[in-house]
Amino acid sequence: MIERDLVIVGAGPAGMAAAISAYDSGVRDILLLERDQYLGGILNQCIHTGFGLSYFKKNLTGPEYAHRFIEKVQAIDNIEVRLKSFAVKLTKEKELTFIKPGELKEIKAKALIMATGARERTREMIHIPGDRPSGIFSAGLAQKLINIEGLLPGEEVVIVGSGDIGLIMARRFILEGAKVKAVIEIQKQSRGLARNVVQCLEDFKIPFYLSHKVARIYGKKRVEKVDVVEVDEDLKAIQGSDFSLECDTILISAGLISENELLESAGIKAGNISIPGLFVCGNAYKIYDLADSVSRDALLAGKQAAEYLKGLG
């Protein structure tokens, strides 16, 4: 088993910032693992602006924001980048197993930073009853299909939940010529940033129903319509308030969950880590509103990992 000084899992804004910070703090043996074929993580599909306002004092798109870190990572010889490398097992001894096309590797890290990001909540997690037709997507998947693959998932869309990705995708669908029938939010206020509500919904006159929920999904092969109902203070349906919306596509934008399966499988809790030399940063630790904040806090994780390594002598 090969031993490395510092291993970082995930090369999104958190992982790249942590790697750069660790190098700046004196670490000279850094392995950066990324399961995708590119550095940058989710930022690569976020082609809208709004990134970098606090960190770089400039209004950047997601790829532009990521590129600034990618250039720094690629310019440092001591940071070894392995793409298409999927971490599949972790132990409390900081032993990590990862796979990439054609090989399986086991490494032991003196220090380990988990920057694995987050995943989206699914339809099953928010308990929407009804049929199980095609045409139901997470907002992030729809974003990837349009912005990366060049595919339009649907033409008449209902968005369930008002997370930032869902709000941004409402605008994106309109710009691609589709129709957004409504954004449905069960809470009294949006889950997303106020600027996204204004720029993505109000500016495009997209109906926004607060204190409402999708009560049922209909469709034999493809989504055909949804039932929508208003809810009271206890989030229970108000009788007589229901109505239907015809659509062929549903996006679920009900928030993110930290991606911590590796830690959990090793019996480690992300919020209460007591293993020396193991650090968690970015959305893997907590869900952030801004990538700028992710990068800023990840710099601290890289610095702390470097300090730990120095203490080992």
Q: Give the CATH number for residue 200.
A: 3.50.50.60
Per the structure, the count of domains in the chain is 2
Q: What is the pTM of this model?
A: 0.93
- If asked whether residues 273 and 166 sit together in one domain, one would say no
pLDDT tens digits, one per residue of 65-93: 999 999 999 999 999 999 999 999 999 99
Q: Which two tokens stand for residue 239?
A: 């009788």
Q: Which of 213, 237, 252 is the last residue of a domain?
A: 252
Sign of CA dihedral 39, 40, 46, 51: negative
| Gyration radius of the chain's alpha carbons | 21
DSSP letters for 83-141? -S-EEEEE-TT-EEEEEETTEEEEEEEEEEEE---EEEPPHHHHT--B---B-EEEHHH
Confidence of residue 139 (pLDDT cuts 50, 70, 90): very high
Are the CB atoms for 253 and 259 separated by under 8 Å?
Answer: no
- If asked whether residues 189 and 295 sit together in one domain, one would say no
- If asked whether residues 248 and 156 sit together in one domain, one would say yes
Query: Which range marks the domain in which residue 294 is found?
Result: 2-117+259-311
pLDDT tens digits, one per residue of 220-234: 999 999 999 999 999
pLDDT tens digits, one per residue of 238-285: 999 999 999 999 999 999 999 999 999 998 887 777 899 999 999 999
What is residue 237's DSSP assignment? B
- The three-class DSSP label of residue 61 is strand
- If asked whether residues 186 and 234 sit together in one domain, one would say yes
Are the CB atoms for 152 and 176 separated by under 8 Å?
Answer: yes
State residue 299 phi and psi, 5-degree precision: -60, -35
Confidence of residue 199 (pLDDT cuts 50, 70, 90): very high
Q: Which of 211, 235, 252 is the last residue of a domain?
A: 252
Task: Region of 244 please: left (phi>0), alpha (psi -120 to 50) or beta.
Answer: beta
